Chains A and B, each alone.
Chain A
């Protein structure tokens, strides 16, 4: 559809690439509001930044992305198992190999996730309005344990027989056994390949977006730095101050919004060192 240079009188303009001109009369639209909110909080350069704060310089930082990569391999190998059906890996050597890939990618997934958890704990990564990031991380871990559990139940071998007949006691005691029947292979398989992967992927997605939104948590201030701010921490131990400039500390207001305010924890941009 081409646009005339001479626009008919009274007709709103529509640029050829389809991007709305953000006309005042459209500002109330849900679409416009949602788009504006999304683009404001996560513009492309924050969604896919090419820079990180200088303190992001440790191998511990790679364990998040290793965990996500392991999850991708878990899903990919699980997809192959799903394509061929639950019996395949019992009767085919190639199937057994794909099952091995799936099992070991799960072991790598939990391995890297726990190392990531330890690192984030020792960095107190929930500081500065990053509590939701921490919480989504913990919930992802718990749901992943559930996803792995339903996977072990879906093996259709001795291991799944034992696990199901034992685990039923714990789950029944909570009342959840009324709905979540671990000895029901069909149900457990569907939880394993449909419901729980969906939840894990959504949770991990939210978790990663939160990291992009808030930025990587800054370090604790060194103990040697003396606070001039009268509201220094009462315990006299470490306070927090920013970067090389040594700017006065600013309190993060707990109910502030992400509006470009310095306390909201997003990465401003591309200043050189």
Chain B
């Protein structure tokens, strides 16, 4: 029961579907000045944007540096540093693309794209964050001796030292000029290693060392950023600004500024089970969002969903003048 297609060459005809097809307009055309419209629109937008910028300005919270972190919170820095040295930090146990930690990759239905693509930005936390920066210190034979003592010791001895230090540093404090003070114990060279690293951090030298470890003109901040993020200082600052994941922080901006409200659906999934507790939560959320985005793009092909505009009848408001004209026009 296909209707005859109008005129010309043979088409493959199919039933008219009001949610997919349309009869093109044969009615009246009225003057419409597009160029004037775009000019007015541009002027309106410029005025609006200038007004918003004048009234509200924009935020610019100073970045955290390894120096500012270790100065404000030397204990947190030392606690983070020891986990980098013994390979238990979030970065050290991350898996691809930073290292090949077994079982660390996220997967959905047995598929793990992370593992498939592998390690592309290798980070060896013990070496990159602790030992190599310390080796750059000139005129510090004591530090070099400690580093040598650590690297030449068997793995079991290293583990014993770091485990002991990790217990002790939880009770660490700060001394007279903010320097780290750790209760004495059997940590071997690990004590001097972490203390000198903390001093190096507080001087600002560690920021530079991590950024330019590969080349002079560094624009890749991966190493220092991951180190900072391994601690709690950055996260606490973010929490106070309502930027944490569980605070719907993805949508937010520092201060009282509007943020990225368009990320509402992406961040929503992080708040609901199972994504909010799953170790593969990130991949699950991405999979959901990719499906939904595909659904939005292919909406014209999806029966039911593409009927919502017709069912909801909002169009009757948009085109009310047109429907009034139709009702008033004499029937032919």
CB within 8 Å of B: which residues of A?
A: 48-58, 60, 62, 65-66, 68-70, 72-73, 89-90, 96-97, 99-101, 103-105, 107-108, 110, 114, 119, 121-124, 126-128, 131, 134-135, 138-139, 142, 145, 148-149, 152, 155-162, 164-166, 169-170, 172-179, 181, 183-187, 189, 215, 217-222, 224-225, 229-234, 237-247, 249-256, 259, 261-273
Q: List 14 A-B contacts (CB under 8 A).
A: A68-B38, A70-B49, A121-B299, A152-B260, A161-B229, A161-B234, A185-B221, A215-B25, A222-B326, A222-B327, A240-B21, A243-B25, A244-B27, A244-B329
Q: How close is B48's CB to chain A, nearest CB, in angstroms? A: 6
* Contact A90:B60 (CB < 8 A) given known A114-B262, A184-B220: yes
- Which residues on B are within 8 Å of A, measured CB to CB? 1-3, 5-8, 11-35, 37-38, 41-42, 44-46, 48-50, 52-53, 56-64, 94, 96-97, 106, 113-114, 116-118, 120-121, 219-222, 225-226, 228-229, 234, 237-238, 243, 245, 249-250, 253-254, 258, 260-263, 280, 282-283, 285-286, 293, 296-301, 306, 308-310, 312, 314-315, 318-319, 321-323, 325-327, 329, 331-332
Is B286 touching A157 in the complex (CB atoms < 8 A)? Answer: no
Q: Is the CB of B25 within 8 A of A108?
A: no
List the 7 closest A-B pairs by CB distance, nearest first.
Answer: A243-B27, A186-B219, A253-B11, A175-B113, A128-B22, A126-B300, A100-B53
Q: Which residues of chain A have C-beta atoms less than 8 A from B219's C-beta?
A: 184-187, 189
Residues of A within 8 A of B293 (CB): 138, 142
**B50 neighbours in A (Cβ, 8 Å):** 101
* A105 B118 Cβ-Cβ under 8 A: no
Q: Please indicate the chain B residues that have their CB under 8 angstroms from the CB of A121 in the complex.
A: 299, 308-309
Known: A184-B222, A273-B28. A240 touches B23 (CB 8 A): yes
The smallest beta-carbon distance between B29 and chain A, in angstroms, is 4
Among the interface residues B59, B116, B234, which one has the most CB atoms of the partner chain A within 10 A?
B59
* A231-B46 in contact (CB<8A): no
**Smallest Cβ distance from A163 to chain B, in angstroms?**
8
Inter-chain CA distance A96–B59, complex, in Å, is: 9
B60 contacts A89, C-beta separation under 8 Å: yes
Interface residue from B48, B94, B121 paired with A108 (Cβ < 8 Å):
B48
Are B238 and A162 in contact, CB atoms less than 8 angstroms apart? yes
Which residue of chain A is the closest to B106 with respect to CB atoms?
A173
B250 to chain A, nearest CB (A): 7
Q: Is the CB of A104 within 8 A of B64?
A: no
For residue A255, which residues in chain B have a CB less than 8 angstroms away from its CB?
11-12
B29 touches A158 (CB 8 A): no
Pair B6/A261 contact, Cβ less than 8 Å: yes
Q: Of A100, A189, A230, A237, which is within 8 A of B56 by CB?
A: A100
Q: Do A237 and B18 touch across chains, with their CB atoms under 8 A apart?
A: yes
CA distance A49 to B32 in the complex (A): 8
Among candidates A53, A123, A183, A217, residue contacting B220 with C-beta atoms closer than 8 Å: A183
CA distance A142 to B283 in the complex (A): 18
Bound-state Cα–Cα, A73 to B300, Å: 31
The contact of A50 among B23, B33, B220, B326, by CB within 8 Å, is B33
The CA-CA distance from A70 to B63 in the complex, in Å, is 29
Tell me which residues across on chain B come within 8 A of A99, comparing CB atoms. 58, 60
CB pair B22–A157 under 8 Å, yes or no, is no
Give the complex CA separation of A173 and B115 in angstroms.
9
Interface contact A229-B3, CB-CB below 8 Å: yes
Smallest beta-carbon distance B322→chain A, Å: 4
Q: A89, A100, A179, A252: which contacts B21 (Cβ < 8 A)?
A: A252
Cβ–Cβ contact B5 & A253, under 8 A: yes
Tell me if A267 and B29 are in contact (CB < 8 A).
Answer: yes
Given contacts A243-B26, A259-B8, 4 further A-B contacts (CB under 8 A): A101-B50, A108-B49, A148-B260, A231-B15
A223 to B203 CA separation, bound complex (whole angstroms): 76
Q: How far is the CB of A259 from chain B (nearest CB, A)?
A: 8
**Which residues of B lie under 8 Å from residue A158 when comparing CB positions?**
61-64, 237, 254
Cβ A177 vs Cβ B97 within 8 A = yes
Residues in B with CB closer than 8 Å to A142 are 293, 297
CB <8 Å contact, B12 and A253: yes
